[in-house]
Amino acid sequence: MYQLTFIITFIIISLLTVRRGTKVKSAADFSIARGSLPFTRVSWIIIGTLVGGVSTIGTVQTAYTHGIAACIFTFGSGISCFLLGCLFAKALREEGVITVSEFLGKYFGEKFRHYSSILNSSGMFLHVVGQFLASIAILQSVFRFGPVVSILLTLILLGVFVISGGISGAGLIGQIKFFMLYMIMLVCAGLALYKGGGLNEIISRLPQDLDMLSFAAYGRKTAAIDMLSMLAGVLSTQIYLQAIFSAKNVKEARNGAFLSATVIPPIGVLGLIVGLYLRGSFPEIGEHAAQALPFFIYHSFPPVIAAFFSAGILLIVLGTGAGLTLGVTTNIYNDFLCTHKGLLQKNNPVRLLRITALAVLILATILVFTGLDTTILKWSYLSMGLRGSAVFAGLFVAVFFKKNHQSRFILLSLYLIPIIYIVLSLV
């Protein structure tokens, strides 16, 4: 019954997404919905992509292992969305572009456009890998599948979501995700507080040798770097800015960012409560912390409810993976493939976009086989840092210092910042 309910729930959601895909008739429909979205749908796209396996499974996992540091991702996301609405939404929406690299190319030249596009796409690609790992944890928990079957099934499901609906599909998934996410995490956190005897009792059961309510166990320097990576990464990511480009006007773009900034941070607090409860009550989870949230759901609810919640969490994970894949696909198509007129003449633009998306997913599948034991948040922070180093400085200069954007020193610095970040990450 548990597995059957899971399958039925997921099929219904998938059919909704595929139906939205029948309305995609052009590359503009696929990428930015022809710039026609109201603020709620702008927010659904941001939430649907930003809040995924990292904000749910990854947050509970990190709360279980390192305590309060688990909130860095969601709180950093909220701050970034607020800054996006305050400082960048107007300039970005008024440019009428499709990719952030195209925006930068107007100020720093076509070579920098391609340079930033490659690095930004690579950063998003790493985040897709993190969603694969979260999806694998759910599928193994529900069906006891092995790694190979779980990876291939994740590939198929992501392909259905991203290839069918484009940016409108991402918005639809985000809307469904928002309501399911809050329902699931509120119920889980409430039950954890009830079963744990309240927050004070949960805290009293935590390991005494680890200060899980400070950043000491996680590392203050690491926490600071992760927060900076989040702030720069969110403000530099194609799919989040793509939501701004898709807005009907500047006002809708700003309000969409502000709505996202309001609703994302509380999700981290809810995940933190669940993770701390599990650490104090179920130390046997140990090395399998990535399955902490699926473990909690499976052992805390009747089979039908547990299956429904697990299907919802998988939707949340795959929605983020699909949105990020869409961002990578949009970059590749608009910044590279569109320059080859012969290629466009021989292929339908929408078909070419979908083939590109499938190629991205297949490449991610190959990479996942080499990183199955990696912490989900580790992939995400590396991803955010790479995106931020490639785009944020240029975006800041273009928006606030337009008169000085042709300075050789500034241009050289923009090229060097990603290289320095990569070197420091490898040290």
Q: What letter represents residue 328's amino acid?
A: V
DSSP helix/strand/coil, 218: coil
pLDDT category of residue 166 using cuts at 50, 70 and 90? low
Confidence band of 167 (pLDDT split at 50, 70, 90): low
pTM of the full predicted structure? 0.79
pLDDT tens sequence across 268-318: 999 999 999 999 999 888 777 878 888 899 889 998 888 888 888 887 778
Cα–Cα nearest to 38, from 259, 320, 331: 259
In tens, the pLDDT along 32-54 reads 555 678 898 888 888 877 877 66
Please report the pLDDT score of residue 197 as a whole number: 94
Q: Choose the weakest-confidence range: 168-177, 191-200, 393-402.
A: 168-177
Q: How many CB atoms lie within 10 A of CB 419?
A: 11
| CATH code for the part of the protein at 30-426 | 1.20.1730.10
Most confident of 5-14, 80-89, 225-234, 336-345: 80-89
Mean pLDDT is lowest, of 14-18, 106-110, 111-115, for: 14-18
What's the pLDDT at 203? 92
The span from the CA of 147 to the CA of 137, in Å, is: 9
Greatest mean pLDDT among 78-92, 213-227, 330-344: 78-92
Q: 3-class SS at 247?
A: strand
